[in-house]
A and B are shown apart, each in its own frame.
Chain A
Amino acid sequence: DSGVTQTPKHLITATGQRVTLRCSPRSGDLSVYWYQQSLDQGLQFLIQYYNGEERAKGNILERFSAQQFPDLHSELNLSSLELGDSALYFCASSSSGTTPSEQYFGPGTRLTVT
Chain B
Amino acid sequence: TQLLEQSPQFLSIQEGENLTVYCNSSSVFSSLQWYRQEPGEGPVLLVTVVTGGEVKKLKRLTFQFGDARKDSSLHITAAQPGDTGLYLCAGSMTTDSWGKFQFGAGTQVVVTP
Contact = CB atoms under 8 A, between A and B. Distances in A.
Interface residues of A, number: 24
Contact of A100 (B2, B31, B44, B99): B31
Q: Is the interface of A mostly helix, strand, loop or mixed?
A: strand
Contacts of A108: 40-42
Interface stretch (A12-20, A38-46, A61-69, A70-78): A38-46
Interface string B76-90: 000000000000101
Contacts, number: 68
A48 B42 contact: no
Contacts of B68: none
A58 interface: yes
A58 B100 CA distance: 7
A4 B42 CA distance: 10
A98 B95 CA distance: 7
A43, A45, A92, A98 — which one has the most chain B CB atoms within 10 A of its CB?
A: A43
Contact of A56 (B30, B41, B90, B98): B98
Contacts of A43: 43, 88, 90, 103, 106
Interface of B: 2, 30-31, 33, 40-45, 48, 50, 88, 90, 92, 94-106
